[in-house]
């Protein structure tokens, strides 16, 4: 069964059942790729945050049903994690940071607003140097302590509106021209890359995907497991919309 055979609009509940019962294997290349294959298997995985595991393979891990983040970190043996949409208020930043015992933390906190992205890491496993921080991007150089291997990671949490995301795409293009060595971009882009990334709702137009395509044209999408669609508006009565807005890309084959 191919995911390209989409349910008709108004069949949101069927789309939800399809998304829950299947595992999508995403092709590595983003350009001109065929629809993702779908096979029976693993329960879907929420993309509330991303973790870099011991073997440096990115894995979308779950923060499902209120499960404590610390339990998820332990389960996946994570040592470097990006947290998106944290909604931590400035006066609570230090309190939240102390909750991650044995971890260091960094956020794009602003006095007048909530933290949008947090990066936490275990200092005995990784060293982190933060090179660029904006409202939608945290870009850092990471060194693995045991091997002294160095690479870059850019954590992304895009704004909801197309015009508000344009500075994010510009930042990513600037980074791509400067970065050397291994590089990964991961997070919630709040944007789709191709037509099949949205099920239900308005028709996808070229201007919605053009900035995304241009900003990361030289990168390869990392294979992911779990639900193909990572967000839903939870609409009922034919108004359900599914979108794939969480992704990871790398320049390493």
Helix axes 162-178, 206-215, angle to 10 degrees: 20
pLDDT at res. 17: 47
Q: Please, are residues 228 and 244 in contact by the beta-carbon 8 Å criterion?
A: yes
Q: Identify which of 219, 161, 216, 159 has the alpha carbon closest to the alpha carbon of residue 189.
A: 159
pLDDT at res. 110: 76
Helix ranges restricted to H, the chain: 12-21, 69-75, 93-99, 162-178, 206-215
Q: Identify which of 188, 192, 130 has the alpha carbon closest to the alpha carbon of residue 159.
A: 188
pTM, entire model: 0.74
pLDDT at res. 72: 78
Q: Please, are residues 173 and 166 in contact by the beta-carbon 8 Å criterion?
A: no
Q: Please, are residues 59 and 53 in contact by the beta-carbon 8 Å criterion?
A: yes
Q: Please, are residues 50 and 85 in contact by the beta-carbon 8 Å criterion?
A: no
- For residue 8, count CB atoms less than 10 angstroms from its CB and return exposed for 0-12, middle for 13-18, buried for 19 or more: exposed
* Rounded Cα–Cα distance for residues 100 and 122 (Å): 10
- For residue 139, count CB atoms less than 10 angstroms from its CB and return exposed for 0-12, middle for 13-18, buried for 19 or more: buried
Q: What are the two backbone dihedrals, phi and then psi, of residue 83, each rounded to the nearest 5 degrees?
A: -110, 125
Spans in the chain with pLDDT lower than 50:
1-15, 17-18, 20-67
Q: What's the CATH class of domain 12-27+35-250?
A: alpha beta
| Residues in CB range of 224: below 8 A, 6 or more apart | 24, 26, 60, 247, 248
Q: What are the two backbone dihedrals, phi and then psi, of residue 158, each rounded to the nearest 5 degrees?
A: -75, 155
pLDDT per residue as tens digits for the range 166-182:
999 999 999 999 999 99
Q: Identify which of 223, 206, 208 has the alpha carbon closest to the alpha carbon of residue 30.
A: 223
* Sign of the torsion angle spanned by Cα atoms 205, 215, 37, 201: negative
Q: Please, are residues 138 and 108 in contact by the beta-carbon 8 Å criterion?
A: yes
């Amino acid at each position: 069964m191919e995911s390209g055979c989409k349910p008709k609009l108004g069949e949101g509940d069927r789309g939800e059942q399809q998304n829950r019962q299947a595992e999508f294997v995403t092709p590595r290349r983003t350009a001109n790729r065929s629809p993702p294959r779908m096979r029976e298997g693993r329960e879907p995985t929420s993309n509330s945050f991303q973790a870099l595991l011991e073997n440096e393979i990115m894995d979308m891990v779950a923060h499902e049903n209120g499960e404590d983040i610390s339990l998820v970190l332990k389960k996946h043996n994570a040592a470097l994690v990006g947290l998106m949409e944290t909604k931590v208020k400035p006066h609570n930043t230090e309190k939240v940071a102390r909750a991650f015992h044995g971890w260091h933390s960094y956020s794009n906190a602003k006095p007048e607003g909530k933290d949008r992205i947090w990066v936490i890491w275990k200092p005995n496993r990784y060293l982190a140097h933060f090179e660029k921080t904006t409202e939608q991007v945290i870009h850092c150089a990471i060194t693995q302590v045991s091997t002294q291997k160095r690479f870059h990671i850019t954590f992304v949490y895009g704004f909801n509106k197309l015009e508000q995301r344009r500075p994010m795409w510009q930042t990513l293009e600037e980074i791509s021209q400067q970065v050397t060595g291994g590089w990964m971009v991961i997070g919630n882009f709040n944007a789709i890359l191709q037509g099949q990334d949205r099920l239900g709702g308005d028709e996808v137009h070229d201007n919605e995907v053009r900035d995304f395509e241009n900003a990361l044209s030289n990168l390869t999408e990392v294979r992911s497991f779990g639900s193909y669609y990572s967000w839903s508006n939870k609409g009922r009565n034919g108004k359900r919309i599914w979108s794939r807005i969480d992704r990871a890309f790398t320049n390493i084959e």
